[in-house]
Amino acid sequence: MSRLCPWSLNDTSMYLVPQCHVYVPGPSMTRLCLVTASSCLQLLDIRVPQFAELYDSVTLSCEFDLAGGKLYSVKWYKDDFEFFRYIPDNNPPWSALPLPGIHVELSLSNMTTLRLTKLSFASTGSYRCEVSMEAPKFDTVMDSRNMTVRGESHT
């Protein structure tokens, strides 16, 4: 069974799909990827506020479609350093890794939503969500957004 997975040439999201044939149909500027596998992982949306206030909290989100596949992991990175992972087969499925400027509220975080608290100037940076499917292919999609923390320090 084949599956069509469209994405726009102007889309900044990255879709890594193995063994696909790319077609560019006329002036529509849309690519269609014919995949002979039973699933096509897609990153639908990533939300990171462009600006946040010093000492405040923010919610980041990463929406994806597994298209019937099995999730292996969702990982979050700040400036290419991993700070949160959600692996459904682990117990507990979530874990936060230490990183300056990052304080994860685990009770308000899951596979699609991440709550950061106690923002500092060190929280400014590029945030990337990376979603991977289970073996044997470990198909992966990722996208990133920048956030700037602004405000006055209480010193």
Domains recognised in the chain with CATH numbers = 42-150 (2.60.40.10)
pLDDT at 100 over 90: yes
Mean pLDDT of 4-12: 41
Other Cβ atoms within 10 Å of 131 Cβ, number: 26
HSE at residue 65, side-chain half, CA atoms within 13 A, is 9
Check residue 114 and give its pLDDT.
96
Mean pLDDT of 90-119: 96
Give the separation between CA 10 and CA 29, rounded to whole angstroms. Answer: 9
Give the separation between CA 75 and CA 132, rounded to whole angstroms. Answer: 9
Are the C-beta atoms of residues 152 and 131 closer than 8 Å to each other?
no
| 27-36, 85-94, 123-132, 139-148: the lowest-pLDDT one | 27-36
Give the separation between CA 138 and CA 132, rounded to whole angstroms. Answer: 6
Query: pTM for this structure?
Result: 0.74
Check residue 5 and give its pLDDT.
53
Are the C-beta atoms of residues 119 and 58 closer than 8 Å to each other?
yes
